[in-house]
Structure formats: C-alpha cells, structure tokens
Structure 1
Amino acid sequence: MKNMPITVRRAIELLGLFFLVWAMFIGREILAPLLLAFFLSLVLLPIYYFLRKHRFPEVLAIGLSILVMILVFGVLIWFIVSQTSNLVADLPTIRQNITHHLSNLSAWINAKTHFSPDQQLKFMKEQSDSLLNNAVNMLTGAAGSAVSVIIFIALLPLYTFLILFYQNLLLRFIFLWFPAESHERVKEALSEIKSIIKSYLTGLLIQVTYMTVLVGGALLLIGIKHALLIGVVFAFLNLIPYVGALIGNIIGVLLTLASSSDLWPIFTVLITIAVAQFLDNNILMPRIVGAKVKINALAVIVGLLIGGKIAGIVGMFLALPIIAVLKIIFDRMNNLKQWGVLLGDERPSQSPMRHPQLRKQEPKVQSQLAAENNIQPPKNNAASIS
C-alpha cells in the first residue's frame, strides 16, 4: 500500500470509512449492546482484578463484578421509577397548571396579534389531532420496541461476562493482526485505550451522581416540586455533549411549568442548571476525566449525529468513547495520522499556509501543538504502527 499513489490511498481510506459506518448501521442491533458491554467490561476490570487477587475463581469473580453493575443500574432504575410515580400522582394538579398557563398564553397572543381565542383553539385542536395520530403510530410499534429493549438488556450482562471471560483470547487475536516488531506499540495503544475509556466512563458515573445532587438538591432546598426528577433527567441527558444539556433545560422548564402556576420557579431552575453546568464544565469534570485525549467540538457534534442516526440514544452515548478510541488508533498509525489530527483539538495558533512546519507529521510539531493546547500527547509518539 505504501507504493500506491496518494490519491488511491485516500480513496481507499474514504471507502473504508464509508463501509465502516454502513456496516455499523446495518448491524446496529448487534453492535450497540456489544460495544456498550465492551466499555462496561473495562470499568469492571478493577473489581474483577481485586477479586482475582483475593483468590476468587474466575467465573465467580466475573459474576460478582456483573452483579455489582446490575445493582447499580437497578438502584438508578428504581429511583427514576419512584420519582416518576410521584409525578403521575400529581397529574390532576399538573392538568390545572397547564390549563392556567395556556389561558395566560392565549390572552397574551390575543393582545399582541390578530389571532382570536377561537382561532387559537382551532389551531391547537388541529395540532392535537396530528399529535394523537403520531402517538398512535408510535404505540403501534411499541411492542417491537419493547422486545428490542428487553433483548438489549438481556444481552448486555451476557456480552459483558463473555468479554471478561475471553479477554485473553481477544487480546491474542488483536496482537496476531500485527507483525512482532509492532507488538510493543500495540500494547501501549491498548493500555492507553483501557485507561482513557475506564476514566471516561467512571467519570460519567461520578458526573451523574454529583449533577443529580447539585441540581436536584439545590431545587429541593428552594422548594421546586419534582426537584430530584429534574436533577436525574438533566444529569443523564448531560452525558450527551452539547445536545443533551439543551434538551435537559427544556424538559426541566416543562416539568416546572406543569408543576407550578407561577413563573419564578422557571428562572430558578434555569439559573440552578446554569451554575451546575459551569461547575461541571470548568472545575469538576476536567479534574475527574483529565485531558488525556481531547476531541474537537465539530467532531463531537458530527459523531453524535451519526451515532444517533445509527443507534438512537445508545449511539449518541457511545459516540464520544468510540471517537476517542479511533483517535488513539489514528495517532499511532503512519498512514492514518491525518484522521487523528482531524478528530483532535490540537488547534494551531498559526496558519499552515504561512508556516510549512505545521504541514508535517513530525512528533516535535505535534508535541508543540499539544503543549499550546494543554493536551497530554500520546506516549512514545515517535513510534507508530505501520
């Protein structure tokens, strides 16, 4: 491949990228739980190693590690269900509050525009009928979706168990793909991937906890109804970069509007969420996850859209760790370094049009860019996999 013309090599790379995305779309129902199980198995490795160190049998160590994971998810599901049941119990009050807000909105529209209450009512009826038809269509496929969710939940612990059980076999399979002289660099890349994914997912778990406490606890102290539910919903949506925080704000406002006839709680919710986001983005999350690999915002947004298109919410959640893994691989491969640059956040302070050294793939240039952007460069950056 080294002797091929550069245009042919780039065409092969683009075709490979296209077929990779296409294959992920075709096999998303198989790949989504498999990839999520792979990432969860990395998080469970410390528990597994601890149990093995204390002479637990391998199968029992894996089983107990997965039991810890199931208990954590079980507590989260129980908490969300209990908070949702409280919301359902307040449905009569919520209906009254919604009617009150709609009446105020109708009066304001009537005062500012030429739309009369009758015209507004006709418009709302048309939209309600359309929404009802869409809801019926969604419920028609609910049985199939429920079956898919059940299969997904059932496969997740099974895949996690098998990945942990066959981890040595899978590692041997990876090493056999490369010549012996590259094995040390492959080992370093695998160690870096394990470290980054483990710290990332552990950081997300910590992030969900403290965001729930920050947002939910603050709103609870202020006296906002369903404060803990707003905190949990926002904490989980905040895991999706950029998009999730916006959706979380909207849902928080809607829940507050439905639970109160006043407008001041809305501003309280927005201010609380804004303060929590500022602490999360600038102080807490950087210290927890660190700056080992930074992905630029453009790559994150495109990755989220592609992941969402391929596998919905699960795809959006998996997009960032997958991009991080791809960047680590690209940075260590001579033929694919340019893709690592495209995904990374090592933004040059000067233009490559005027400074030819920025057009090169030299380790010295990459280390300088990493230093300028406060990024920890890959270890042994000079050594790459051919």
Structure 2
Amino acid sequence: MKRLRSWLSLAAVAALASALFGSVPSAAAASPHMALDCSQGRVACTEVQDPEKVFGQGVYVGHDEPSVLFYSNQAGAGNRMQYQLTLPSDPPQATANAFNFQLHPAFWFGMAMCDTQSFPEQLTTCTPDSDSNIVDPAVSPNHPGVAFMEMQFYPPGWVKWPPGNSCDATKWCAALNIDSLSSNAVTNLDLNPTCAARTGVEYVNFAFITTNGRPQPNSPPNPVESTLQTFTPDPNADLFMNSGDRITVTMHDTAHGLFIGLNDLTSGRSGSMTTSARNGFGQVKYAPAPSTDCTNIPFDFHPMYSTSSELTRVTWAAHSYNIAFADETGHFDNCAKVVNRGNCSVREGV
C-alpha cells in the first residue's frame, strides 16, 4: 500500500488548507495571522462538552479518544510528573496496511491549567498548583477559569502542518497546546464575534517543542498574534525524533509557567517549552458583544491543581480531565476529492 501522502494531490492539499485556515500563503511571505479553527474538528483541539452551544446548531466536533486518567491525592500529582515512552514505528512500506498517521494523528499528555479569561468567567483569580480551585459546577458556577494543556506528539509521513499534522516524512515532532473557552457559564455570552473570527471561541496557544526552549522565529503562540509560521514546522528550530526513539517527558511548574522538557535518550537530543508570557503565550481578553475588543493579555500559564482526581476537572471539556494520557485514534479517511470546506466527496477508509 502506498503512503497516502502520494495520494493527495497538490490541489486537494490547497483546498483542505483553505477550508481549515482560510488562504494559506507561503511561509516565506510576511507570515499573516493564523489560528486553529476548533469548529472544524481539528484533532489539536480539546473536545468541548457542548459543541452546538459553542460552534452552532448541527456542529459536532467529537472524536474517538481513549484515555488513561491518573489519580493521586499526593501533593504535586496534579502539576509535576515524568513519563517514559517509546515512539511507535511504522511497518515496512512494502508490506504496510496502515501507518501511524492513519492510526492516530496525535497522542498527548494532558494537564488542567489556570486561565482567568476562560470559562466559566466568574472569578478574576486562580491560585496555581492548588486544590482550593476545586469547585463542583453542579453546586456553584464560581469555579476559577480553566484551560487544558495537551503535550501532543505528531507522527511522520502525512501532509505537513498546517493543513496536515506531520512535520516530516520520516521524523516525529511535538507541540504544546493550551485550549481555553471564552464563554460565560451564567450569562451564556461568548467572546464577541469580531474577535472570535480571529481567535475562535475555543482558542489555542500553540508552540512546537524547540531545541532552545523558545518559540520558532516569528511564531507567537497566542491566538491573537499567531501566524502561519507558528504552525509551520521549522527543522532548524524544532526537536525532531525518530520512530523507535526512547523519550523522557518531564513536566513541572516554574515561576513563569509550566515547563515541559523532552529528552531523546536514543539520539541524545532534547527540546523544551515554557508556557510563559516571555515566550509569547497569552490569554484572549474576555469581551462579549457589543464590544469588538480582541486583546492578547501576556500570561504565564500555571497548572491549576495540586492533586489529581475526579474533582480536579476542566469544567467545559467533554471529559473529566486533569492529568491524563490520550490517543487520538481514527480520524483518518483518505480523501479522493476535496469539496467545499474540506469535505470529501469520496471517502476511502483504511
């Protein structure tokens, strides 16, 4: 079976990119604004509890996402951990029935984060690394604003970011995503349409893991300022990894945000990212209509909780996540012909 990269025509790639992101010019140009559109069911986006409320009637963005949740009442279990993993390998091309990019466009490690401009928009404070943030939404809406971090790994061999989700024909890459929801749980008012058209009501801070711990050049992570370059892999800056490599993933809070480090024990290379204002991470100021304000607030994103349990939740997400691992299974259909908004007129499953 041929790699599906060869099956998708350049015209199809361009049509898919245009549908998901609007016009996608060359990254070598002035790198215009770009943000992930979670209403289109991007696998990089955290699934919301009520997609029709967030994205409109008839819009569904759900997907298969088998997960493992880690629970512990030990202090630090909700904000400090280390994982050991081996990156999956693809079968020999001549005998393969399916490649990793077909089986799972990403897998990720997750954590709940403080975001005072995110749902439920009731409090202006959030104490990092603290179980004082636990509030049962069935009892009170006064939960601190919460976001969800996904440390995502992307398999090789498919169309490259941003229309696709690979960074290279043969090498893995990784990116840190922080999803927030700009919606008020009491008034049901969302971020104003002018700003939502730029960032989304569910918006994402996005940064590839780099070898120097700083975002790629001209690649602000926050969705108000993010550009095409933010979502375009840079082999001169990003940590690329080989299939079969053994990776240590380390996460812990710092004075200026969550630190994530990847140490490739096989190649000896490493990369990292810290969710700091200095690195360009930021909140979208919650401003419902009639305001048209669309302001980035530079922000250090910190873990929300001290421990991890069924009570340490992201209250707007479809799952009761805090510390978690998930595999984005499925998602893949070879698209023989792209029609309007990235839909396929002919679907051929794997």
Q: Aligning the two structures, in what range does the TM-score lie when normalised by the shorter sequence?
A: under 0.3
Give the TM-score, by structure 2 length: 0.24
Task: Tell me the TM-score normalised to structure 1 length.
Answer: 0.22
Larger relative strand fraction: 2
Q: Which has the higher contact order (CA 8 A, sep 6+)?
A: 2
Structure richer in helix, relative to its length: 1
Instruction: Select the structure of larger CA radius of gyration.
Output: 1
